[in-house]
Amino acid sequence: MKFLDQAKVYIKSGAGGAGSISFHREKYIEYGGPDGGNGGRGGDVWVEGVTNLNTLIDYRYQQHFKAKTGVHGMGRNRHGANGADVTLKIPVGTEVYEEDNETLICDITEEGQRFRIAKGGNGGFGNAHFKTSTNQAPRRANPGIEGDERTIWLRLKLIADAGIVGLPNAGKSTFLATVSAAKPKIADYPFTTLHPNLGVARIDAREFVIADIPGLIEGAHEGVGIGDRFLGHVERTRVLLHLVSCNEEDVATTYRTVRKELEAYGNELGEKEEIVALSQTDIVDAETLAEKTAELKKECGADVLHLSSATHTGTDTVLRAMMDHIEDARSAEEDDVPDPRWQRTSLEQ
């Protein structure tokens, strides 16, 4: 299935049905009076998060969604039926923006979460509604209210526990294929990965989701190469694995280049917890590996792990380090959740 993480969609909620002007006519009943029914309410437009989707490709082929109009009122006090709603099924992790692609409407982060993005119009009143003691034969009814129409943007940001960043050919996809059942494209040329890939890694009976995004190069935030649009898919991660290939002549400059792009992207991406690792360690000797490790450690100011996906050397160590950061982040998030009992007590006071 082709990956698509952004789509522009036109939506329109249903208009309300018109009220009816009608008078009761029946033998032996004099002055039957008004009996026009009300119109039905127009259908709403909703978005709902589902877990069996990981792309917005469905909205490449259909961009217009319209809810049904409410049925008009009829005589004999028959009210019109409400119009049917329309629900857009979107992957969990999708953000919905206004037409300017900047104003956030809602962020769907859980399965089954729903949000109404266009409300249907109310139905009009029939003439029976306007009957009073001084106006017993009203000849007026309301038309239904028009529905809302707007253009929205759907922007998918994959929900993963960890993200892998680095220059092209740093070994990101190879690492993902080694530690999970994912099968990303792997080749010996730059930008083999053209869209994000997800994989589930397991270590010590624990598991977490890893996101691999296309490689970054200098100037990615200005659109160079594939650009930085896919960095949004690691915004929700709890830790980043920064891979630097041993094949690079200057590992310090390589590390600095990627860090500069992360900080230029913003959204606090440059402040995330980071694990730095030298990848493809099987292609250099021990002396060269020690030199590159010292250079990279001096640049990043943290311990540098060693990793070779080809020989499976160091993969478990890296996974355990990532899992430790993820569990710490999860614990911190649970501590930040307020106790509902405390909230109830405070409100009662």
The 45-50 sheet, strands edge to edge: 86-91, 45-50, 114-118
All CATH 2.70.210.12 domain ranges of the chain, comma separated, are: 1-156
- Which CATH code fits 1-156? 2.70.210.12
| pLDDT score recorded for residue 341 | 45
Neighbour tally for 61: CB within 10 Å:
6
Among residues 226, 219, 214, 224, the alpha carbon closest in space to that of 264 is found at 219
pLDDT for res 225 = 64
CATH tag, 162-336: 3.40.50.300
Closest among 296, 305, 231 to 264, alpha carbons compared? 231
Round to whole Å and give the CA distance between 321 and 266: 25
pLDDT in the model for residue 178? 92
Q: Where are the alpha helices (DSSP H) in 5-142?
A: 58-61
Q: Indicate whether 226 pLDDT > 80.
A: no
pLDDT in tens, 304-334: 999 999 899 999 999 999 999 999 888 887 7
**Per-residue pLDDT at 244:** 94
pLDDT of 76 higher than 90 = yes
Structure letter (DSSP) for residue 186? -
**Model confidence at 10: pLDDT above 60:** yes
Contact 295, 284 (CB under 8 A): no
Q: Check residue 349 and give its pLDDT.
A: 39
* pLDDT surpasses 90 at 336: no
For 91-102, what is each residue's pLDDT tens digit? Answer: 999 999 999 999
pLDDT of residue 34: 94
Q: Is the whole model's pTM more than 0.75, yes or no?
A: yes
Q: How confident is the model at residue 113 (pLDDT cuts 50, 70, 90)?
A: very high
Q: Which of the residue ranges 12-21, 183-192, 249-258 would you say has the lowest mean pLDDT?
A: 183-192
pLDDT value of residue 234: 87
Q: Which residue has the tokens 């990627």?
A: 258
Q: What is the mean pLDDT of residues 103-126?
A: 95
Q: Is the pLDDT of residue 345 over 60?
A: no
Choose between 107 and 205: higher pLDDT. 107
- pLDDT band of residue 342 (cuts 50, 70, 90) is very low
2 pLDDT band (50/70/90 cuts)? low
| pLDDT computed for residue 28 by the predictor | 87
Is the predicted pLDDT of residue 347 greater than 70, yes or no? no
What average pLDDT score do residues 191-218 get?
85
Q: What is the DSSP string of 145-182?
A: PPPPEEEEEEEE----SEEEE-STTSSHHHHHHHHSS-
Residue 108, strand partner residues: 94
Average pLDDT over every residue of 90-117: 94
Closest CA to 213 of 289, 283, 265, 154: 265
Q: How confident is the model at residue 256, as a pLDDT?
A: 93
CATH 3.40.50.300 region(s) of the chain? 162-336
Instruction: Please tell me the least confidently modeled range out of 16-20, 42-46, 243-247.
Output: 243-247
22 contacts: CB under 8 Å, gap ≥ 6:
34, 35, 36, 37, 74, 75, 76, 126, 127, 128
What mean pLDDT do residues 151-171 have?
Answer: 91
- Count Cα neighbours of 156 within 13 Å in the Cβ-side half-sphere: 23
Q: How much is the pLDDT for 227?
A: 67
